[in-house]
Amino acid sequence: MSLLSRLVTEAARRVAQDPRLRAKAAEVAGEAARRARPKIENAGRHIAETARETADGGRFADDPLGYALRFRDKLLPPDNDRSR
């Protein structure tokens, strides 16, 4: 284990022992979860809708690879359109 990783590990251990820092970390995590919830729910609806649309083109059991490719193509934009 390198010196840097030992220092980071020891710093994390000391932070974890401080009740004030643990409380602040819990507060920050809760706020992040609250803000992310609508986006996660929307993504779940989008995925379910895309799965239903993909099923219209054929059953998964009949052609798993074809289904997966159709699902990917409907869910994600082409590679050259994705932001990097």
Q: pLDDT tens, 28-79?
A: 999 999 999 999 999 999 999 999 999 888 888 899 999 999 999 998 877 7
What does the domain layout of the chain look like in residue ranges?
A: 3-78
d(CA 20, CA 76): 42
Provide the whole-model pTM: 0.56
Helix (H) or strand (E) holding 1: none
Closest CA to 55 of 43, 47, 67, 64: 67
Contact assessment for residue 51 and residue 71, using Cβ atoms and an 8 Å cutoff: yes
d(CA 71, CA 82): 16
Q: Residue range 13-34: average pLDDT? A: 91
First-residue to last-residue Cα distance in the chain: 33
